[in-house]
Amino acid sequence: MRIVSWNLNGLPATLDNGCFEAIEILRPNILCLQEIRTDKEPTVIKNFRHIWNHAKQSNYSGTATITHYKPRSVNKGFGDLEGRIITTEFEKIFVVNVYFPNSQSNLKRREYRLRWDDEFHDYICSMSSRKPIIICGDFNVTRSPLDIFKSNERMQLKEQGYLTDERANLENLLDEGFCDVFRELNPTERSYTWWSNRMNQREINHGWRLDYFLISEELMSKVISMEHLTEIEGSDHCPIMLELKI
């Protein structure tokens, strides 16, 4: 099984620019998209099922899961109005496609973000006894200094994406029996999934690792590979890909 996850920062522009040609070459079985920012439902990959969760606010947030497999069930979250989560149940696993809220530069949404973290934690724990879970998407937080470009190691603790509470909430989720696949496979590697659009940050690789695959511990032995597809452009995030023997 091959799963690709990508925060698009807008699906329409990504489609118009032909960015999915590189994704189709990878032949994923499941494609999880975040921040689609559209109410439309175009065909992204032909002959795949398209599952949409739009935000109530137009042209904002939203997720889509595009799958070759027919899911047993689909759940679109826990009552949020921003289209941030799609859970697809298959025979042996759940796949949770998620776009975590951003606390924003003035932290005006910090309270919302922390409440959302708690609800997501409870939601995942309520499913974990049923079958293994794969969680993927943009978590809008980094785990450690290793996940931010080296010259920014001062790590402004008041910045969104590196708030102590947000990091603690991610660790709490991992403590429930999940593995951060990239870090398990690459304990000391610096590799990023998001770069600011300002000042050519991607060209000089001044990035942050904000996009993750978290999987139930029992699936870790089935992992073949996990990659940051930094060569694929079209968004301020790069796609990430997980391959497992399932």
The kind and range of the H/E element at 118 are helix 110-127
HEC profile of 123-147: HHHHHCCCCCEEEEEECCCCCCHHH
**What does the block give as tokens for 240?**
């990430």
For residues 91 and 72, the answer to whether their CB atoms sit within 8 Å is: yes
Which residue bears the tokens 């079958």? Answer: 131
Round to whole Å and give the CA distance between 176 and 16. 40
Q: Is 35 left (phi over 0), alpha (psi -120 to 50) or beta?
A: left
**What does the block give as tokens for 190?**
């610096």
Query: Beta-carbon neighbour count of residue 145 at 10 Å?
Result: 13
Cα angle 69-246-86, degrees, rounded to a multiple of 5? 45
The active-site residue out of 99, 162, 192, 212 is 99
For residues 26 and 1, the answer to whether their CB atoms sit within 8 Å is: no
* Catalytic residue check, 138: yes
**What does the block give as tokens for 184?**
């398990």
The active-site residue out of 117, 138, 147, 211 is 138
Q: Is 70 exposed, middle or buried (0-12, 13-18, 19+ CB in 10 A)?
A: exposed
Q: What residues are annotated to the active site?
A: 99, 138
